[in-house]
A and B are shown apart, each in its own frame.
Chain A
């Protein structure tokens, strides 16, 4: 048959019957190994010569080290600096990549990304408001919520933007992608302008706090921060797999998803709240790290297809690995100083994004 020879020539789906679930399972397995490797590399590399391997070996064997002072220093570096940073990288990389994948499923477009459509900007605005106004106008809020004030403000900032975007871009059950992207641009710009006003009001100490918001960085990783945002991200990520089937159905449109038995409204609201929580928590500690949310799901769709049941866990794994490796680059390329990781992801991600646009001109029709 002529059709089959065309199929063979295209050769993009090697499984002749169009079932890519085996390939997806293998991909997930390989990505798990990659994540373990990335975590090990991140833990063992850094500006100092502290040996993570020795620290772990001493801890495992209970051996008392020969040089107690050196061992104590190494232990400090590994436990209190590198480990929280690795964990934070895993949490945030997974959160950003999965949020991107969920948002793309929700908006039915491979270009939707929390960073691009203003969700991160909304989260930043919330967080900056707490940093700058936390001791004055918003003092009651920070007093009442303590360490949670910052992540909560970031969450509500992101949530407000996402809800607003959805309300603007969706009419009669159809989400207009052009409207979504343009509205996201406008809302993002507005949020950044408001953030700018707050920065204008900030004092010197606050300005130093704020510097990393602009660029994004994992440098602020501490155990208490992980204790605050870790549960939020883990909870948000744990909800996402339950959305996978619904998001698959949503690829056929909201009406058809409903006919297939998916409670579409509940799916949309769960996804929006989950994404806002994950992005808000990430932005609260690390600022705006762009492009992970768009690059990771896109690469994975090329490798294993768009089935969200596999795409979401794979995105978490690849997002975490990619952010850890990027962070390793950011930490070492100009050592002993370090580049904000947001710069590295943007330098690598922006050209990639343009490449998607050029390649997929037919599919992403606005």
Chain B
């Protein structure tokens, strides 16, 4: 369980997140949504200990601020929005970095094979020998996800659930890979881990999230299941856009929803 109480974050004197209560349960995919600049990433960075915050964050009942980096690394892995790289690493070398701090949860003798398995999960089989910098943006994002998966390969370790924090994990992916990645997240949750993801696509959110937290102007404006949260009034208020939930477009207008995936 991730429990955050009364989280506020100020950067350079400006308050970006104010008094947000947040919780993510193991076994569930928890989505954070909101317009650009609403404080989603800042909240996530507070929850992962990257930004200093006021309030409390507890991971499985333990205060995050009292944990050493290596202890936190064993409980959760974090996929940032983008990762720049300063040296010419190969894909395998990047993915293997996921194994340095945490504990994958597989037998030590299997650790060496884990990068391959992780790459296969994100549909990058055969990419281990490529240079990271030569890949496309979407491929790089999936390499980073493979690294993150290696860090917390087993969703539950020694009876304790572990967590994935994903900041816009599908932002630069084509629709096939969006579904693959979201399925990985859901599978991680089904096997007992917890997932916290910032998402922009409301259809994907409706399809995969068990709980949604909606941020607007740095404040929490709604939290609950997709059916409770995704309503016309809330979307209009938060996204400043008059949209109708569940309304079909005109008959001759093609539309494609991820829910239609077989």
The answer, among B48, B83, B93, for a CB contact under 8 Å with A253, is: B83
Q: Are A256 and B98 in contact (CB under 8 A)?
A: no
Known A12-B131, A249-B100, A260-B98; contact A19-B92, beta-carbon cutoff 8 A: yes
B209 at the interface (CB under 8 A from A): no
A109 at the interface (CB under 8 A from B): yes
Can you name the residue of chain B whose Cβ is closest to the Cβ of A362?
Answer: B133
A245 at the interface (CB under 8 A from B): yes
B90 at the interface (CB under 8 A from A): yes
Q: Are A17 and B68 in contact (CB under 8 A)?
A: no
Q: Are A307 and B49 in contact (CB under 8 A)?
A: no
Q: In the complex, what residues of A have CB within 8 A of residue B134's CB?
A: 10
B97 at the interface (CB under 8 A from A): yes
A15 at the interface (CB under 8 A from B): yes
B50 at the interface (CB under 8 A from A): yes
Q: In the complex, what residues of B have CB within 8 A of residue A226's CB?
A: none
The answer, among A3, A110, A259, A305, for a CB contact under 8 Å with B93, is: A305
Interface SS of chain A: helix, strand, loop or mixed?
Answer: loop
Q: In the complex, what residues of B have CB within 8 A of residue A64's CB?
A: none
Q: Are B91 and A18 in contact (CB under 8 A)?
A: yes
The answer, among A3, A109, A256, A261, for a CB contact under 8 Å with B130, is: A3
CA distance A16 to B73 in the complex (A): 30
Among A1, A3, A20, A259, max chain B CB count under 10 A is at: A259
CA distance A108 to B68 in the complex (A): 24
CA distance A110 to B41 in the complex (A): 30
Q: In the complex, what residues of B have CB within 8 A of residue A261's CB?
A: 69-74, 100-102
Q: In the complex, what residues of B have CB within 8 A of residue A249's CB?
A: 97, 100-101
Interface contacts beyond A251-B89, A251-B97, A260-B151: sample of 19 additional A-B pairs, CB < 8 Å, sorted by A: A1-B126, A3-B126, A4-B126, A7-B129, A12-B131, A17-B129, A110-B87, A251-B86, A255-B80, A256-B83, A258-B49, A258-B69, A259-B76, A259-B78, A260-B97, A261-B100, A263-B69, A305-B88, A305-B90
- Interface pairs (25), CB distance under 8 Å: A3-B127, A13-B90, A13-B130, A17-B92, A17-B128, A18-B92, A18-B129, A19-B128, A20-B93, A251-B85, A251-B97, A252-B85, A259-B72, A259-B101, A260-B97, A260-B101, A261-B72, A261-B74, A262-B69, A262-B100, A263-B69, A264-B69, A301-B88, A306-B87, A306-B88
